[in-house]
Amino acid sequence: MLEEVLVTVRDNPGIDPSLSVWHWEIPAYLFLGGLTAGILLFASLIVLLGREKDFPFVSRRLPIWAFVALSLGMLALFLDLSHKFYVWRFYTTFQVSSPMSWGSWILLLVYPVIILLTACTLREGYPALGRLVDRFRAGHAGINFACRHRVLVAQWGLILAVFLGFYTGILLSAFSARPFWNTGFLAPLFLVSGMSAAAALVLLGTRSEHERHMFTRIDIVLIAIKLSLIALLLVNLATGSRVQIEASQMVFGGEFAIPFWVFLVIPGLMIPLILEYWELKGTRRAWMLVSPVLVLYGSYMLRQLTVDMGQASSYISYVNAFDPALLELLR
Amino acid sequence: MKVYAMVIDTNLCIGCGDCVVACKTENKLPAGLNRDWVVEATRGRYPDLTTEFRSERCNHCTHATCVHACPTGATYTWQNSNIVLVEPSKCTGCKACIAACPYDARLIMTPDGYIDKCTFCHHRVEKGQDPACVSACPTHCMHFGLLSDAQSTVSRLLATRPHKALLEETGNEPQVYYLT
Amino acid sequence: MKRREFLKLSAMLGAGAATPALMTGCASPRLPGSGQVEASPIVCNVCFWRCAGTVYKEDGQPWKVEGNPEDLHSLGRFCTRGSGGLGMYRDPDRLRQPMLRVTENGQQTFKPVSWEEALDFIASRMSNIAETHGEDRLCLLSHGVGGTHFRRLLGAFGSTGFAQPSFAQCRGPRDVGFALTFGEGVGSPDRTDMENSRCIVLIGSHLGENLHNSQVQTWIKAVENRATVITVDPRFSVAAGKSRYWLPIRPGTDMALLLAWIHVLIHEGLYDQDYIARYATGLEQLAEHVLPFSPEWAFLETGISADVIRETAREMARHAPATLVHPGRHVTWYGDDTQRSRAIAILNALLGSWGREGGYFIPERVSLPSYPVPEAPEPRTDWMAEVQKDYPLAPAGITNVVIENSIGDDAFFKGWFVYGTNLPYSVPSSADQIQAAAQSLDLMVVVDTMPCAITGYADVVLPECTYLERLDPIRNSPERQPALAVSFPAFEPRYDSKPAWWIAKQIAERLDLGAYFPWEDYAEEVDWQLQQVGSSLEEMRQLGVKSFPRTTAKFFEPGEAVEFRTPSGRIELYSEMLASFGHDPLPKYAPPRRPPERYFHLSYGRAPAHTFGRTINNPTLFELMPENAVWVNPLVARDFALSSGDYVRLRNQDGVVSNRVRVRVTERIRPDSVFIVHGFGQKDPRLRLASQRGADDNHLMTRVLIDPIMGGTGMRGNFVTLVPEEQLA
Ligand SMILES: Nc1nc2c(c(=O)[nH]1)N[C@H]1C(S)=C(S)[C@@H](COP(=O)(O)OP(=O)(O)OC[C@H]3O[C@@H](n4cnc5c(=O)[nH]c(N)nc54)[C@H](O)[C@@H]3O)O[C@H]1N2
Ligand SMILES: Nc1nc2c(c(=O)[nH]1)N[C@H]1C(S)=C(S)[C@@H](COP(=O)(O)OP(=O)(O)OC[C@H]3O[C@@H](n4cnc5c(=O)[nH]c(N)nc54)[C@H](O)[C@@H]3O)O[C@H]1N2
Ligand code: SF4
Ligand code: SF4
Ligand code: SF4
Ligand code: SF4
Ligand code: SF4
Ligand SMILES: [Mo]
């Protein structure tokens, strides 16, 4: 029998009783970052493979969504900061050991690549926007420049996409202090999940039958990989240290079991997998838009739950002997 | 590198929480925020029992995962020692360091939003004094000093007495020790 | 840009953004102590140990309190409560101005009044009482240093009625029991020489939770020196956790254990034969008396195995005379308390520890002249003979007896001054009686710092300033080393509060008794006294504490002839005195009542973060411990389907129900007992933090076991059951 109680009260907001320093902002940022990576990856690949003609949506209209997603992601990141006016401090230093520092610099590199990649698609993809930009001399020159270096940009895009996608997972898995995150499967999982989200976006946007077909196939593979990575991640935790085993238990019982299975695995992975399989078989065309929406939802939910569960998992096992909510009377 | 350590004798600690009050007043912490706290661990079944009291705080890890996680360098070590501090004017409040600390030893300063934590009272250490909690403890069960000096009280205590540190399995190399 | 405009701008920016305080962190906060620091000596008043220390201000703001290294009460360190003392000053719920009970539209309320009006009212009521009933009919109920001033005031007026809860609810039985045995009591600070003890026996004394400062420090020193600690407690107290032996005794059976220990010491010939022969009388009677009380017999009563009883007795003897059987402090338990304290005293005598190193030292104080004021008039009656005639052996006022004698038209007392004691929470289950007393008294003045329950009964409530804002009487306590300590005001009084000396003087002047307070400022009196012993107010402002040389020995010399202040001049193992008053001359054991089915002994005690109820509303200490919890054994928790963190109410044997209280399931308590920390469960909504937090033990003590010798209120004869919250609805 071990009874471990705090005999003084601890209720540091955000830290106690378990971490809740990150709410929707970081999951949203990770989701949007992953989506950006996925988009960048597909858009760059298509360029590098020279298959622009076969994939009209990806090559012409998709890149700008990377710009939108990344900007929203950075906004979410900014909103998360509790000491906001010091945001510029990210860029006065580079901390080698800090994934977050890597991340902030990667974002800075990714931005121009996305802009260049997008610029070259504007005239065809978004003619109105393209004309607007063309009206300015610098804009006009910019687009021309982007198009001239399209392949180089795509090469960079591919590399950075992989970095960015991995990074969204590494950001969490590098926290050895949070048992649920501390596994090597998080980075590939988030990369694949980002790609899957980007594929879903394609499915939502494309009008080309071929493109849809191809991306449905891609997405099925990605979802299947995701499911296996999740399984591996759980096995990895369940066979780990005491705290990791405890962390893995969270999905089998307690407050996260229902969210995990009912809100993530079934609607975010299983159902779209089945729907997309049916679609491939050509039976249920009416559901066309449902599966990509569910994939996007699942992608976000994966991050949200991962962030929540990681924060809930900890090395600490003591509890307050007295009601910490009473400290509210002092604040 | 200078390694400062705290050595706390759990055989003498009575769990009175004076260390907590002393920290709050010395460091003028806003109400409801704690840099230190006291855990009581009771083992066994009535009537075969042992109780251990532990005054806990940041462990000023020599492998400080919080320092590694900080993207801005706001979390840093003081004067080539293991004393881990936060520079508010560099801190963005990204909270990476909070997630990186296995001891949950950090806190978010209200209302400002920068991150705060136990400083080992470096402002007192600088003047040759013990940290506030150490010098308040009525049982004298807390000791503070340089582990990198073999002659110091803390070094001698660790050399002669059985001890442990918390969560050593994290590899953080915590520098708050408990004599058992 | 001018600074002001910039600030305005940033405020606008801040208002637009998510966090309004964005800009405030711009500059790194200054390190503590880098500003203008001022220090001022203080004597802590958060409990009655009265440690000397220093208050620090930084840039004019209250900062911290620390112990004075020259001080024997604090040994340079304050306890948790003392360190949190600034909260007493900061507390926004403090009494702010004098208040008078008035009837408005048929409803009684309190009206804030000027000091003038309040003091005039008091003086005129006092004169009325003197005219109608006599000037001897006032009583001072007090706990705390400022009481001295009111004692002088009432003495000058003609009333010597005086009682403190620290007697009949606390140390009374022990001081009487020890005085009957050794000719003098233990006193305060307790004269225990624990730092030199090789063996310490704690009977209930929960040192560590009971945080009397140097007491804890000297005890822990002994623990560090590997002295044998034997703790007798139904609960695995903090002290038990530091002990070599924990004797989880069945509640209320300590006397059986003590008698068995005495039995072993005598019948195994382990007692200090030379010491007893030299100093004591009554060994034969004692030896015969304890003959039947073998460890085997005691086992059946106490649940402590005979082997352990023998082993611990031998362990005590092995280290004697450096064996301290601790006298306890709050000892009003089962009504046999004077006798139990006698048994403890006898045990110490057998071990030869009284007057010996590692046992009890002989304390000494400074012979400090009192300030010359006119002699107080001889009181018209001897109130003690009148009111406390049932307890001729009680050397001090018995709070509960005073309360009883204040109810009804023919009651002795007609007016009360209540200074610094929260009677309805300190005298068991006394709220109704205090209510009745308040009805029949012609005057009830309450001098307090907080709107505690007692203020609700008053005719006049006077806000005193805290110890941090006033000059208190010189501390001159019996100690190892004679020493004086002075407490200087560190801050101006907040709100419209005043120090006790000022209040007493003002009332005195209205009654033509100004000659008893013949100075403008109490500092003059303190300075005069200090001058008499070669110091001064100025010197003490620098020192805080000043030590004086001892003039007597701290311990008995080997073979020294000692005259004890008992009738026989010897240590009285057998008390003729008790016999002559019709009490048992030797302590006897009577088995306590056992709790009924599904009821538990109600046990209570201290927590290090609080002093009774007086600190619960202190914001600093509230933060450490905002409520109490009821400790229950896991077996009990299972029966009642409770787990830690649930809330229950306690219902006692007479159906009295407590406020809701959090459950703590812990192995650290016997399955036949529950435990709560005293002081919680305050009900006054003006105590915004403390109100309704946790359960109050006092109201659950409807069965009061009166000590027949000194009239104290035994509080541990009560039983409670647990009522889960949902069953109450
Ligand atoms: N922090 C703090 N310290 C204080 C105070 C405070 O308010 N706060 N108050 C001070 C004052 S005025 C006093 S008088 C002292 C009181 O402090 P003590 O004299 O130490 O108090 P005890 O009466 O011994 O009561 C507490 C212990 O008695 C145990 N107990 C209950 N029933 C029995 C029994 O039948 N037999 C035995 N052997 N033990 C039993 C309880 O489990 C508990 O551990 O504390 C002083 N110190
Ligand atoms: N049920 C139960 N009853 C007990 C005990 C118990 O353990 N359980 N313990 C008993 C013991 S050991 C003791 S010693 C007594 C203590 O009994 P009390 O001395 O009555 O204890 P408190 O409840 O702290 O009441 C102190 C009052 O003094 C006021 N006060 C505080 N500081 C000042 C000041 O500077 N000036 C003035 N004027 N007022 C001030 C507080 O606001 C409060 O109203 O209680 C006894 N009664
Ligand atoms: S002040 Fe000392 S004895 Fe009290 S809890 Fe802290 S470390 Fe333990
Ligand atoms: S205990 Fe936590 S905050 Fe302190 S140094 Fe170690 S990792 Fe950092
Ligand atoms: S919150 Fe502040 S100290 Fe912590 S990691 Fe972020 S920038 Fe560094
Ligand atoms: S070392 Fe200083 S900052 Fe750290 S817990 Fe102790 S008093 Fe607080
Ligand atoms: S024991 Fe603690 S509360 Fe009591 S006087 Fe000393 S420091 Fe103050
Ligand atoms: Mo007491």
> Is C620 close to B21, i.e. CB distance below 8 A?
yes
Residues of C whose CB is below 8 A from A321: 629, 644, 664
A89 touches chain B (CB under 8 A): yes
Are C199 and C158 found together in one domain? no
Residues having CB closer than 6 A to ligand 7 are C 44, 46-47, 49-51, 74, 78-79, 81-82, 211-213
Six-digit token string for C466:
């805290």
Q: Which residue's alpha carbon is nearest to atom 6 within ligand 6?
A: B133
Domain identity same for C279 and C328:
yes
Contact, A199 vs A331, CB < 8 A?
no
What is residue A54's three-state secondary structure?
coil
CA angle C703, C705, C708 (to 5 degrees): 155
Tell me if C564 is assigned to some domain: no
Residue carrying structure tokens 């998709």: A62
Backbone phi and psi for residue B94, each to the nearest 5 degrees, phi listed first: -80, -20
Tokens representing residue A80 in the block: 């998360």
How many other C-beta atoms are found inside a 10 Å radius of the C-beta of residue A60? Answer: 19
Interface check C609 vs A, CB under 8 A:
yes
Angle CA A259–A262–A263, to nearest 5: 60
Smallest CA separation from ligand 1 atom 30, residue: C204
| Domain residue limits at A74 | 25-317
Distance A7 CA to ligand 5 centre (A): 29
The per-residue pLDDT of chain C, averaged, comes to 95
The domain boundary residue, chosen from C28, C56, C90: C90
CATH of the domain at A32: 1.20.1630.10
Average pLDDT on C562-581 reads 97
Indicate if the pLDDT at residue C5 is higher than 70: no
Q: Which residue of A has its CA nearest to C664?
A: A321
Phi-psi domain of C523 (left: phi exceeds 0; alpha: psi -120 through 50; beta: other):
alpha
**Residue whose entry in the numeric block shows the structure tokens 């039983």:** C719
The answer to whether C428 and C713 have CB atoms below 8 angstroms apart is yes
Residue C22 lies in a domain: no
DSSP SS3 for C245:
strand
Query: Which pLDDT score, from 0 to 100, does residue C35 have?
Result: 95
- C132 and C184 in a single domain? The answer is no
**Measured from the CB, is residue B94 less than 6 Å from ligand 5?**
yes
Contacting residues of C for B109, CB less than 8 Å apart: 25
Q: How far apart are CA C55 and CA C45, in angstroms?
A: 13
How far is the C-alpha of B8 from the C-alpha of B177, rounded, in Å?
6
CA nearest to A121, candidates A66, A71, A165, A197? A66
Closest CA–CA distance from residue A242 to any residue of chain B (Å):
10
For residue B124, give the ligand 6 atom closest to its CA. 2
Distant-in-sequence, close-in-space partners of A46: CB < 8 Å, separation ≥ 6:
A52, A55, A58, A59
C72 band by pLDDT with thresholds 50, 70 and 90: very high
The answer to whether residue C529 sits within a structural domain is no
Quickly list H helices, C606-657: 619-622, 634-639
The pair of structure tokens assigned to A141 is 């020159």
B101 lines ligand 5 (CB under 6 A): no
pLDDT score for C14: 41
Mark whether C134 and C261 lie in a shared domain.
no
| Min Cα–Cα distance to chain A from B137, Å | 15
pLDDT tens across the length of chain B (180 residues): 999 999 999 999 999 999 999 999 999 999 999 999 999 999 999 999 999 999 999 999 999 999 999 999 999 999 999 999 999 999 999 999 999 999 999 999 999 999 999 999 999 999 999 999 999 999 999 999 999 999 999 999 999 999 999 999 999 999 999 999
How many CB atoms within 10 Å of residue C2?
7
In a domain, C382, yes or no: no
Q: E-strand spans in chain A?
A: 2-6, 319-320
Residue A276: CB atoms within 10 A of its CB come to 28
Q: How many domains does chain C have?
A: 4
pLDDT at A51: 93
pLDDT at C31 over 70: yes
**Model confidence at C578: pLDDT above 80:** yes
Asked whether residue A10 is assigned to any structural domain, the reply reads: no
Task: Give the separation between CA C79 and CA C71, rounded to whole angstroms.
Answer: 13
Window B:60-79, CB contacts with A under 8 Å: 65, 67-74
Tens of pLDDT along A131-140? 999 999 999 9
Chain A residue numbers touching C619 (CB-CB < 8 A): 330
CB neighbourhood size of C382 (10 A): 12
Q: What's the half-sphere exposure (Cβ side, CA atoms, 13 Å) at C71?
A: 33
Q: Do C120 and C212 lie in a common domain?
A: no
Q: Taking all residues of chain A, what is their mean pLDDT, rounded to a whole number?
A: 94
Distances in Å between the alpha carbon of C654 and those of C151, C651, C695, C706, C718?
38, 8, 16, 18, 9
Domain assignment of residue C573, yes or no: no
pLDDT of C45 higher than 90: yes
Q: What's the average model confidence in pLDDT over C446-468? A: 97
Query: Do C144 and C178 have their domain in common?
Result: no
Tell me if C476 is assigned to some domain: no
| Binding partners of A (≥3 Cβ pairs within 8 A) | B, C
Q: In this structure, what DSSP letter does residue B81 have?
A: B
pLDDT per position as a tens digit, A59-98: 999 999 999 999 999 999 999 999 999 999 999 999 999 9
Three-state secondary structure string covering A197-247:
HHHHHHHHHCCCHHHHHHHHHHHHHHHHHHHHHHHHHHHHHHCCCHHHHHH
Rg (CA), chain A: 22
> Which among B37, B142, B40 has a CA at the least distance from the CA of C236?
B40
For the segment C70-89, the average pLDDT, to the nearest whole number, is 98
C328 shares a domain with C225? yes
> Which is the closest atom of ligand 1 to the Cα of C207?
20
**Can you say whether the dihedral through the CA atoms of B117, B120, B125, B126 is positive or negative?**
negative
Ligand 7 atom index nearest CA of C83:
7
Q: For residue A280, name the pLDDT band (cuts at 50, 70, 90).
A: confident
Is C723's Cβ below 8 Å from some Cβ in A?
Answer: no
For residues A314-328, average pLDDT: 95
In one letter, which amino acid is A170? I
CA of C431 to the centre of ligand 2 (A): 15
pLDDT in tens, C53-63: 999 999 999 99
Residue corresponding to tokens 């005057």: C443
Residue B120 CB less than 6 A away from ligand 6: yes
Q: What is the pLDDT of residue C21?
A: 43
* Residue owning the nearest CA to atom 7 of ligand 5: B91
- CA contacts within 13 A on the Cβ side of C213: 32
Query: Residue C109: its pLDDT value, please?
Result: 92
CATH of the domain at C505: 3.40.50.740
Lowest mean pLDDT, pick from A58-67, C3-12, C437-446, C650-659: C3-12
How far apart, in whole angstroms, are the C-alpha atoms of residue A268 and residue A284?
A: 18
- Residue whose token pair is 């703001």: C61
pLDDT confidence of A283, banded at 50, 70, 90? low
Query: Cα–Cα distance between C403 and C399 in angstroms, integer?
Result: 6
Task: Give the ligand at the shortest distance from the Cα of C78.
Answer: 7
- Give the pLDDT band (50/70/90) at residue C579: very high
Q: Count of alpha carbons within 13 Å of A217, Cβ hemisphere only?
A: 6
Answer whether A19 touches B (CB < 8 Å). Answer: yes
- How high is the pLDDT of residue C729? 59
CATH of the domain at C359: 3.40.228.10
Please indicate, yes or no, if residue C24 is contained in any of the structural domains.
Answer: no
Find chains touching chain C: ≥3 CB pairs under 8 Å: A, B
Q: Is B85 on the interface with C (CB under 8 A)?
A: no
Q: Using the predicted structure, report yes or no on whether residue A278 has a pLDDT greater than 90.
A: no
Q: How confident is the model at residue C27 (pLDDT cuts 50, 70, 90)?
A: low
Q: d(Cα C673, Cα B46) in Å, to the nearest integer?
A: 13
Structure tokens at C60: 């004019």
Rounded to 5 degrees, φ, ψ at C210 are -65, 110
- Please indicate, yes or no, if residue A196 is contained in any of the structural domains: yes
Residue A6 lies in a domain: no
Determine the structural domain holding residue C78 and report its residue range: 37-90
Clarify whether residues C698 and C613 are in a common domain: yes
Summarize pLDDT for C95-153 with one digit per residue, the tens.
999 999 998 888 889 999 999 999 999 999 999 999 999 999 999 999 999 999 999 99
Residue C535 predicted with pLDDT over 70: yes
Which residue do the tokens 């010189």 mark?
A: C474
- The domain total for chain A is 1
Looking at per-residue pLDDT, the higher value among C13 and C715 belongs to: C715
C-alpha C658, offset from chain centre: 23
Judge if the beta carbon of residue C424 lies within 6 A of ligand 1.
no
CATH of domain B4-179: 3.30.70.20
Asked if B46 lies within 8 A of C83 by C-beta distance, the reply is no
User: How far apart (Å, rounded) are the C-alpha atoms in residues C154 and C140?
Assistant: 8
> Do residue C689 and residue A330 have CB atoms under 8 angstroms apart?
yes
Beta carbon of C419 within 6 Å of any ligand 2 atom: yes
The β-bridge relationship of strands C443-448 and C415-419 is: parallel
